[in-house]
Structure 1
């Protein structure tokens, strides 16, 4: 039987599989002697083993028997008055740019003589407390956007060392929902963008209502060459595509507005989007293995992909849908 390890930390997966096998063997043939033998096999005391068995019987959730490895949240040392300012600022306009919110909080805090942490800590507090919403600038300009970020996961792409993957993500603007994901080893390129769009398209709603006007699709890129192959087929199919020029460290900001700097125990490293060297290598915990690509994709989709489907492609008739899907497949298979 295959168990869903979506929410089990990558470095704990082998151990969780081992625990499940031992627990299920014990459940099939219980008894004190068996419990002691199973506990010894897992390096646990009998009482600890019985707790694992109870957790598994009650939930059948692999995460419930993961044990050490999940990070504990540290209590915040930020002044409570500053947190109140942050919450009030966000309440006034939750769709403001994070940089705007940070600047407003800093200005109010200084005026009230509230002790300020460094800018990194302040930004982390703002991003963790603001709602998962796209900023107004994106809401007013696009119907679907594609952005990129780097995920702090060790993935085996067939090289000598584990690598942090690039996640190319399609977001439905009307619903603030992640509707398409593609995982790749390098910097942003047309094949990954095409795969993310195909994912969104195939999961999207069909023929809900005829589209009014040309749906606006924005794609974040550092250079036009990263997106030009994708823009043409979108335009031919009735969309209004454009690329959003981003600086070296400006990728992933749209994704960050939805997910913050960490989501579902995955840290987002947006400043690494256009870095494809040593900084993209992933450190492995002692005894841990890199995730196979298929397993990594399953984990990322399980944790980040929204259940809601986009309606951006719903106005396509079957001819245009088939042509766009074929064009995107050609691009996706090019690398």
Structure 2
């Protein structure tokens, strides 16, 4: 490590920020928020800051003096990173149309139909039933994409489809992460309880480590019903466990996971069809956005799995971040 002067004017993010509670902070702004905290703490540590100190510290963050002092006040009042995190990555980007833009009667009608049909009904059938219901009530029918978004939101919130069993699949997490080969979405293997929506085990890493983690989750929690396994993981799992399971195409396993979790878990979204996803680097829309480090990504994914399971009254998942 060198002693070169940081590009921000001398106020580098301190190691003390590494253990800071980043709850509520946009993941793409973790580095920026750590830098803000470091500069604000440096300023507050001054016994008698001068006008020049205020100018220098504000300039280090690319802010006006008034903007910087507003951060200082927010930090002093709340002492939390989220208090000075500022706008998210999508500032200035038009919000997509969604159920929030629908008339309340249309939204209520579609939501009632979706809840009644359950997660195993196809989108085509769901759209048909929603159109029929909205036509009967003489209210506007949501678009196909809006209905699909409502279906996925319902699955994510309800987190259960009433069927006994477990599905093991691999999905990508919609988080741009810095790797040796550039910015990429991390791949996560999961064992998910089809009935409750709880995540039993999750792992990132090579097939051997991933399989061992998934097996730990399966052997601790299998209570009945079919165990469905992504064919790419079937061999490694079979070599480590006597749990009986049905191997299926990776796409089919992801479909079962999507029907149970919806778009994802906690605050994180999953990518079930990688070929249709945007490029990871395209998520960085602001000059202050930055890809996550592998360590930050693992920490965030683990935290959000915990949030997801806690909301379902489920035990902690078996986790492995082997590389």
TM-score by length of 2: 0.71
Distance 1:255 1:152, change over 3 A: same
> Over residues 190-213 of structure 1, what are the superposed CA-to-partner deviations in whole Å (9 max), with x where a residue is unaligned?
4474154167479x69xxxxx9xx
Contact 1:95–1:135 (Cα < 8 Å) also in 2: yes
Does structure 1 residue 59 correspond to structure 2 residue 78?
Answer: yes
* Partners of 1:262 and 1:7 in 2: CA distance: 17
Q: How many residues align?
A: 290
Q: Which residue number corresponds to residue 300 of structure 1?
A: 301
- SS of the residue 1:291 aligns to: coil
After superposition, the Cα gap between the structure-2 partners of 1:104 and 1:296, relative to the gap in structure 1 and judged at 3 Å, is: same
CA distance 1:26–1:195, shift in 2 (3 Å)? farther
Q: 1:35 to 1:173 in 2, by over 3 A?
A: same
SS at match of 1:149: strand
| Equivalent residue, structure 1, for 2:268 | 266
2:152 maps to 127
Aligned to 1:50: 69
How far apart, in 2, do the equivalents of 1:190 and 1:29 lie? 52
User: Following TM superposition, by how much is the alpha carbon of 1:6 offset from its aligned partner in structure 2, in angstroms?
Assistant: 5.7
2:153·2:263 contact (CA, 8 Å) conserved in 1? Answer: yes
Q: Matches of 2:280 and 2:268 in 1, distance apart?
A: 16
Residue in 2 that maps onto 1:168: 189
- Alpha-carbon distance in structure 1 between the residues aligned to 2:42 and 2:299: 27
User: C-alpha separation between the residues in 2 aligned to 1:312 and 1:102?
Assistant: 35
Q: 2:42 — aligned with what?
A: 25
Gaps of 5+ in 2: 1-15
The CA deviation string for residues 253-308 of structure 1, in whole angstroms up to 9 with x for no partner, is: 44434543265553322111xx5x99665434446443232221112112233346
CA, structure 1 residues 171+67, in 2 after alignment: closer, same or farther (shift >3 Å)?
same
Q: Is the 2:120–2:259 contact (alpha carbons within 8 Å) kept by the matching residues of 1?
A: no
Query: Given the alignment, which residue of 247, 255, 267 partners 1:243?
Result: 247
Flag the 1:257–1:54 CA change in 2: closer, same or farther, 3 A.
Answer: farther
Structure 1 portions without partners, runs of 5+:
206-210, 314-328
**For residues 103 and 298 of structure 2, what CA distance do their matches in structure 1 show?**
39
* Residue of 118, 125, 132 corresponding to 2:143: 118
2: distance between equivalents of 1:310 and 1:262? 18
Task: Check the 8 A contact 1:6/1:303 in 2, yes or no.
Answer: no
Partner of 1:218 in structure 2? 227
Aligned Cα RMSD in Å?
Answer: 3.9
1:20 CA displacement: 0.6
Residue 229, structure 1, aligned to residue 250, structure 2: no
Higher relative contact order (CA 8 A, sep 6+): 1
